[in-house]
Chain A
Amino acid sequence: MGWGFAGPFVAVFGLVFLAPIGYALYLSLFQDRLIGGTSFVGLDNYGKALTDPRFWEGLTRVGLFLLVQVPVMLGIALFAALAIDSGRLYGKTFFRVAIFLPYAVPAVVASLIWGFMYGTQFGLVGNINDAFGVTLPNPLSPSLVLASIGNIVTWEFVGYNMLIFYSALKVVPRSLYEAAAIDGAGEWRVVTAIKLPAIRSALVIATIFSIIGSFQLFNEPSILQKLAPNAITSDFTPNVYTYSLSFSGQQHNYAATVAIVMGVLTAIIAYAVQLRGMRKG
């Protein structure tokens, strides 16, 4: 009887998750040549991917992105969650709702708004340049575009992470705080000794989600590409690379290989963070 209820989910899951994974593995073992058609090449595509400078360039870029953007975003989110949870803010409900609000904004709209604001034509950067007679560095230039994308992603997800942390803080038994106050513990001590250890698993989960998200970086560069065509290349991130291989280059077999390599890498790193994060002490 359990299968009767779970069956529909499992059937569709098989179609849209398991079948594509199997199909990708199958595709990755073949090559489609102009002359000779499709032929079995074993693991050649994997060898090619692992020595492909364009793949490594994108991977290095998301690695750098991850090392900077994830800590900044989670830091702001944690600060906001602790501030709201402390009960020491005026209008804390407004804070909670307003900071979470960008999560409802589609990546397309977020990238367009920020992209326009970055612009020198009618964006804020252009306004500031005109008003003060200065020339600010162009956020859409090749050297700054990654940081500009990091800002967009931070804006989109800071509230989501804040709410994960805040939800975890809400279930910390309030009696602990009373006991700490009786023992004379200051607010900072309560944060480091009670609150942070209590939400450890939420911190680990938010970190893992953010790492997976960084490795998948696609939407924001894909949309900003129209605003900054020279700064965002077709191998900007591994996913942008996979997309252009597949839909501009028709190299489906190689694209599937790159996608699998990225999937495996993501899973390994997410798993390592989980093991490290869940270890006590």
Chain B
Amino acid sequence: MTTSLPTAAPGSTEPVGRTAAASSRAASGTTTSKRRERRLPHTPLHPRPSLPLTLVAGLVLVYTLLPLAWLVINATKDQNGLLDSFGLWFADDTHFWDNIGRTLTYDDGVFVRWLLNTLLYVAAGAGGATVLAVLGGYALATYDFPGRKAVFAVVLGAVAVPGTALAVPTFLMFSNMGLTNTPWAVIIPSLISPFGLYLMWVFAAEAVPTELLEAARIDGSGELRTFFTIALPLLMPGTVTVLLFSMVATWNNYFLPLIMIKDPDWYPLTLGLNAWNAQAQTAGGQAVFDLIITGSLLTIVPIVAVFLLLQRYWQSGLAAGSVKE
């Protein structure tokens, strides 16, 4: 499940094919270069790369990368450069580091405060969601307890409930409990990931053999000890996957903090950028487009980095989520 890195890309088989061809030529001693060409195996599993297909697919690539290129390029411009220069090329002078400095210090460094808030929401919300999903998925996969089927049915049904349908009543409930405008209002709803529970259930059912747990019990190991010493290491790849999904969901969350948090001191980055944009669009508000653009870049850099470093886990997660029925 975790070895989905494309180490066997078509290109990497080429040298192998060549070596085989070369050694067979050495054996027969009479192969012309034409025949050697023909021996290069472009089997159905390793077809020859196609330039036209690459070009057509390249259009999709341009589409996905163009806005990100625009963001990086325009993060180097000041307010005048934004207005005067072509959007997809650099202005005459670069203000990249200056922009970053001003973004971090604008309004007494409120951006840094938003960044720390976001880190708090991600650590507590996504971390907590992962712990709950791992424990719950493990229980559903390995124990037969009363109500197990009901838990599963209700949680799966909940996946279809639009999150925003819950937002208004959740807000009113939290408001009555005095939780709105505090970090708890963002963290508590982030703790539940029905998709994470489902993923961990599927994963635990495959990765943790019940015979192993039986053997541990016969040897006198307690349930908690069995979980921590035997099951948890086996569940690690699935755990990282769920953690990644929850982290991105929490880092990027907009709607939940929008309704729960009114105090800018508790804004996450997404709400902060939105507030800067609202200010810039208001007549008389300070037009801080350069800060919004640089702030947007700073907001996506950490999550994109995590994403690229751990990308193989994405695929395993989506595979488990989409293939199982």
Contact = CB atoms under 8 A, between A and B. Distances in A.
Nearest to A271: B160
A12 B268 CA distance: 23
Nearest to A92: B9
A86 B47 contact: yes
Interface string B285-321: 0000100110010011001100110010011001101
B162 A167 contact: no
Given A177-B44, A212-B162, A260-B165, A167 B323 contact: yes
A188 B147 CA distance: 48
B20 interface: no
B49 A90 contact: yes
A83 interface: yes
Given A90-B54, A104-B248, A2 B144 contact: yes
Contacts of A242: 164-165, 167-168
A12 B143 contact: no
Interface in B23-65: 43-51, 53-54, 56-57, 60-61, 63-65
Interface string A28-72: 000000000000000000000000000000000000000000000
Contact of A9 (B47, B135, B293): B135
B112 interface: no
Interface string A129-145: 00100000000000000
B315 A163 contact: yes
A16 B319 contact: no
Contacts of B189: 16
B16 interface: no
B306 to A, nearest CB: 8
Interface string B71-115: 100100000001100111000000000000000000000000000
B139 A3 contact: yes
Mostly, the B contact residues are: helix
B223 interface: yes
Given A9-B133, A112-B292, A270 B160 contact: yes
Nearest to B302: A104
Given A83-B57, A167-B319, A6 B87 contact: no
A97 B47 CA distance: 21
Interface residues of A, number: 108
Given A101-B307, A102-B64, A201-B325, A1 B223 contact: yes
Interface in A226-266: 226-227, 229, 239, 242-243, 246-247, 252, 255-256, 259-260, 262-263, 266
A192 interface: no
A108 B270 contact: yes
B277 A112 contact: yes
Interface in B131-147: 131-133, 135-136, 138-140, 142-145, 147
Given A107-B252, A201-B322, A79 B60 contact: yes
Interface-central residue, A87, A96, A216, A267, by most chain B CB under 10 Å: A87
A15 B132 CA distance: 14
B83 A121 contact: yes
B44 A180 contact: yes
Interface in A123-181: 123-124, 126-127, 131, 155, 158-160, 163-164, 166-168, 170-171, 174, 177-178, 180-181
Interface of B: 4, 6, 9-10, 43-51, 53-54, 56-57, 60-61, 63-65, 67-68, 70-71, 74, 82-83, 86-88, 131-133, 135-136, 138-140, 142-145, 147-148, 151, 154-155, 158, 160-173, 188-189, 191-192, 194, 197, 223, 227, 248, 251-252, 254-255, 258-259, 269-271, 273-274, 277-278, 281, 289, 292-293, 296, 299-300, 303-304, 307-308, 311, 314-315, 318-319, 321-323, 325
5 contacts: A2-B140, A95-B61, A127-B87, A243-B259, A266-B160
